[in-house]
Amino acid sequence: MIIGARAAASTVLPLLPDHDQAREWAEQELRDPVYTAAEPTFIDRIAQAVGQFIEDLFRVPEAQGWGPSALIVLGLLLIAAIVVGILIWGKPRQNVRGSAPARALFDDDDERSAEELRADAADAARRGAWDDAIVLRFRAFARGLAERGLVDPPPGATVRAFAREAAGALPSLAPALDIAATTFDDVRYLRRPGTEERYRLVADLDDQAVRARALPAASA
């Protein structure tokens, strides 16, 4: 029995590799294409990195307070809300009436719009109050140019200074503008009585200004 066991062991032991042979066998096995195909490719690694980044971005931090990822998410949501608001309601409109041009008109503060001044001038004309009608209509003319952004008279600007600036924006109205400015000065400061004819002159100037196009900025 002992002799038989030793004979069997002698037949099995040669099949067990030594250390070097075992390593060689393992290297040969790993060179099999089956193992190479199972490894992740470069594209797979990129996809895994992107997925991990998105997962970390939307992960709620366990600690108290807001982490950087949560702040980024809030920023993206805010930008999305602004874009949606613009698509639905459009861009916010700018107020065309600046604070300075809307108040200061030839030494007097006046917050009425050009249309309001024209209406008040027409009412004064119907009553035959030509002095008031001339002053109000010339102010409507000045306010209209300011509302269109064609002129920006500083506080305390004189009628003559305004007329020069307006003539630069609307050169075609320069001759009538000079006469209208003189009429305003006569009635407002020199206390000369106004007439219907002089009122019509100022009203015609205002009507022409509404229809006129401004001189291009490059040519001014």
Examine the domain organization and report whether 103 and 194 are in the same domain.
yes
Examine the domain organization and report whether 153 and 209 are in the same domain.
yes
134, 139, 146: which is closest to 116 by C-alpha?
A: 139
The more confident residue out of 183 and 76 is: 183
Which of these ranges, 8-22, 23-37, 170-184, has the smallest mean pLDDT? 8-22
Q: What's the CA gap between 140 and 105, in Å, rounded?
A: 10
Positions of E strands within 104-191: 104-105, 108-109
Burial 132-164 (b: 16+ CB within 10 A, else e): bbbbbbbbbbbbbbbbeebbebeeebebeebbb
> Is residue 110 assigned to a domain?
yes
**pLDDT(154) > 80:** no
**pLDDT(102) > 90:** no
Examine the domain organization and report whether 201 and 137 are in the same domain.
yes
How far does the chain reach from its first CA to its final CA, in angstroms? 123
What pLDDT is stored for residue 96 in this prediction? 41
SS3 109: strand
**pLDDT(152) > 80:** yes
What pLDDT is stored for residue 212 in this prediction? 84
End residue of a domain, out of 50, 69, 89: 89
End residue of a domain, out of 58, 89, 120: 89
Which of these ranges, 82-86, 159-163, 165-169, has the smallest mean pLDDT? 82-86
**pLDDT(217) > 50:** no
Which of these ranges, 6-10, 58-62, 137-141, 204-208, has the smallest mean pLDDT? 6-10
> Is residue 70 assigned to a domain?
yes
> Is residue 20 assigned to a domain?
no
Positions of E strands within 95-195: 104-105, 108-109
Examine the domain organization and report whether 108 and 135 are in the same domain.
yes
> Is residue 4 assigned to a domain?
no
Examine the domain organization and report whether 104 and 85 are in the same domain.
no
The more confident residue out of 138 and 110 is: 138
**pLDDT(2) > 70:** no
> Is residue 187 assigned to a domain?
yes
158, 145, 165: which is closest to 101 by C-alpha?
A: 145
Examine the domain organization and report whether 110 and 135 are in the same domain.
yes
Query: Which residue range(s) make up the domain with 45?
Result: 40-89
Q: How confident is the model at residue 203 (pLDDT cuts 50, 70, 90)?
A: very high
Q: Specify which of 65-69, 83-87, 97-101, 111-115 reaches the highest per-range mean pLDDT.
A: 111-115
Q: What is the mean pLDDT of the chain?
A: 75
What pLDDT is stored for residue 200 in this prediction? 96
The more confident residue out of 150 and 11 is: 150
